[in-house]
Structure 1
Amino acid sequence: MGIFDFLGGGSGPEKALKLKSKVTQKYGDPTTRQKALQQLGEMKIPEAVSVLLQRYNITVEPLTTDADEKEHVFELVQSFGKDAVGPVTDFLRKNEAATSWALRLLEVLLPEAEVTTLVVETLTSLSGKYLRNHEKLVVLLHYVTGKQDPRIAAAVLPHLDDMADDVKLATLKALGPLKYEPAREPILKLLSNKEIARRVQTAALSALQESGFSTQGYREQVEAAMTEPFFLDGNGLVQRRA
């Protein structure tokens, strides 16, 4: 029999799961929630990490208390070390919200290359899937932006077809510096769509300029969508005025 059996509530994993309702309690005395968080932090079992992470799925008033508790959860999960990697990775893959917290935790638990691998795998798994909360994709796309890992471009490109403009914008920003040739035509097709928002057209022009892609086959459509500070030079390349 373990220590938590003596304290009541069954085994460690069972006790951790029973605390979930207190961790996610939005109203009432906040000390009940805070005590549950502290209890979980002392358990040092993977199930406790999984329950602690559920705190990121709610927002409480006042917002200062919310921020303080979420930072406290970050510190508690971090204290688990490598034992937290599995639960945090699972949270990243399965949860639509709180992606930024999951990434922040993984960044202190793992080398950057391993975090990038997880993000690439998650982006690939989410390709073509409908998400009610598109913030998850935006956060993941922002994470890989500016990184030169050869796996990133192929994982990013499919999200150019996402329904949300914010996802399109984040995808274009990530693709620009990668100069990924298979992205040329999809970007040009997106730019040619007269129904897309002006800010998406501008981001597409920026991605074409940064990539150095030719507009061959789409010159007329690109000219029709052209806006300052961009222009089309004699070689059919999008340029930005200084």
Structure 2
Amino acid sequence: MGLLDIFTGGSGPDKALKLKPKVTQKYGDPATRQKAIQQLGEMKYPEAVSVLLSRFTITVDPLTTDADEKEHTFELIKSFGKDAVPPILDFLRTSESAASWALRLLGELQTEEEVIGACVEALRHLAAHYTRNPEKKVVLLHHVTDKQDPRIPPVVVPFLEDMQDDVKIAALKALGAFKYEPAREAMLKLLTADETARRVRTSALAALVEGGFSVDGYREKVEPLLVEPYVLAQDGRVQRRV
């Protein structure tokens, strides 16, 4: 630490980290939080991006102030350019909230292929580690839905066994368009399990239709579960009644 650091509160990275309590301060004078955000935006250290990202993990009143601050924080992080990518990727992997902001930032700074790669890695990490909050899983699954990338379906299938119905439904929607044969068995097991909620079963039927899968091996269990507009065709595939 140099002489200047003694009077300014430490080196640049250290100063950035010391501002985190102010950035995540929900109560008190908002000017304190806003000043800290602006100071971080003027630094050029990865640690500044990491601290700025923490602003997305809290919500303050009034909501108009919250929205304005988050948009300002977004623009400040974006101004770091490619230097902001590693901290954002780390945030996406480790934070249980604000995944939508991280993905939005990556969308501005990376190619779509790179963003999908980040989603795939984050989903793989989530599948192997317990998390109470389903929000991040749902956000990531929604982001990869309708994206035709072969890296996606293998990391989505495990979420058909998630404890949260919203996660299962998001996984089914993401898988439907892929016609990914290894997902067929998992979809049918989910559809026919006694504990599966009705809305999840409806989503499973829709995914089976979209994937063009047959119910071979499960016909007797599937038939009683069919609801309008779903029917079983002669070839064993679930179809929507015309």
Indicate how the Cα distance of structure 1 residues 82 and 220 shifts in structure 2: closer, same or farther if over 3 A, else same.
same
| Partner of residue 179, structure 1 | 179
Q: Is the 8 A contact 1:4 1:15 kept in 2?
A: no
Give % identity. Answer: 67
Indicate how the Cα distance of structure 1 residues 16 and 222 shifts in structure 2: closer, same or farther if over 3 A, else same.
same
Give the gaps of 5 or more residues in structure 2. none
Give the gaps of 5 or more residues in structure 1. none
* Structure 1 Cα separation of the partners of residues 173 and 13 of structure 2: 43
Q: Which amino acid aligns with 1:101?
A: W
Matched, 1:165 2:179: no
Q: Aligned pairs, how many?
A: 242
Determine helix, strand or coil for the equivalent of 2:97.
coil
* Structure 1 Cα separation of the partners of residues 126 and 113 of structure 2: 20
Shift of 1:4: 7.0
Shift of 1:118: 1.0
| Partner of residue 66, structure 1 | 66
* Structure 1 Cα separation of the partners of residues 114 and 4 of structure 2: 34
| Partner of residue 9, structure 2 | 9
Q: Which amino acid aligns with 2:13?
A: P
Shift of 1:7: 6.0
Indicate how the Cα distance of structure 1 residues 4 and 106 shifts in structure 2: closer, same or farther if over 3 A, else same.
farther
Determine helix, strand or coil for the equivalent of 2:239.
strand
More moved, 133-142 vs 1-10: 1-10
Shift of 1:24: 0.5
Shift of 1:241: 2.2
* Structure 2 Cα separation of the partners of residues 226 and 128 of structure 1: 33
Indicate how the Cα distance of structure 1 residues 34 and 15 shifts in structure 2: closer, same or farther if over 3 A, else same.
same
Indicate how the Cα distance of structure 1 residues 233 and 149 shifts in structure 2: closer, same or farther if over 3 A, else same.
same
| Partner of residue 240, structure 2 | 240
* Structure 2 Cα separation of the partners of residues 6 and 77 of structure 1: 27
Determine helix, strand or coil for the equivalent of 1:214.
coil
Q: Which amino acid aligns with 1:221?
A: K
Q: Is the 8 A contact 1:17 1:47 kept in 2?
A: yes
Q: Which amino acid aligns with 2:64?
A: T
Matched, 1:52 2:52: yes
Indicate how the Cα distance of structure 1 residues 217 and 97 shifts in structure 2: closer, same or farther if over 3 A, else same.
same
Alignment of 1:74-93 (within 5 A): 74-93=74-93
Indicate how the Cα distance of structure 1 residues 215 and 81 shifts in structure 2: closer, same or farther if over 3 A, else same.
same
Determine helix, strand or coil for the equivalent of 2:42.
helix
Indicate how the Cα distance of structure 1 residues 126 and 15 shifts in structure 2: closer, same or farther if over 3 A, else same.
same
Shift of 1:194: 2.4
* Structure 2 Cα separation of the partners of residues 32 and 144 of structure 1: 38
Shift of 1:8: 1.3
* Structure 2 Cα separation of the partners of residues 97 and 105 of structure 1: 14
Q: Which amino acid aligns with 1:115?
A: V
Using the size of structure 1 for normalisation, the TM-score is 0.97
| Partner of residue 41, structure 2 | 41
Q: Is the 8 A contact 1:128 1:159 kept in 2?
A: no
Determine helix, strand or coil for the equivalent of 1:43.
coil
Shift of 1:132: 1.3
Deviations 1:7-34 (A, max 9, x none): 6111101110110010000000000000
More moved, 129-138 vs 72-81: 129-138
Q: Which amino acid aligns with 1:171?
A: A
* Structure 2 Cα separation of the partners of residues 107 and 192 of structure 1: 38
Using the size of structure 2 for normalisation, the TM-score is 0.97
Indicate how the Cα distance of structure 1 residues 12 and 2 shifts in structure 2: closer, same or farther if over 3 A, else same.
farther
More moved, 83-92 vs 124-133: 124-133
Indicate how the Cα distance of structure 1 residues 7 and 31 shifts in structure 2: closer, same or farther if over 3 A, else same.
farther
* Structure 2 Cα separation of the partners of residues 3 and 150 of structure 1: 54
More moved, 53-62 vs 3-12: 3-12
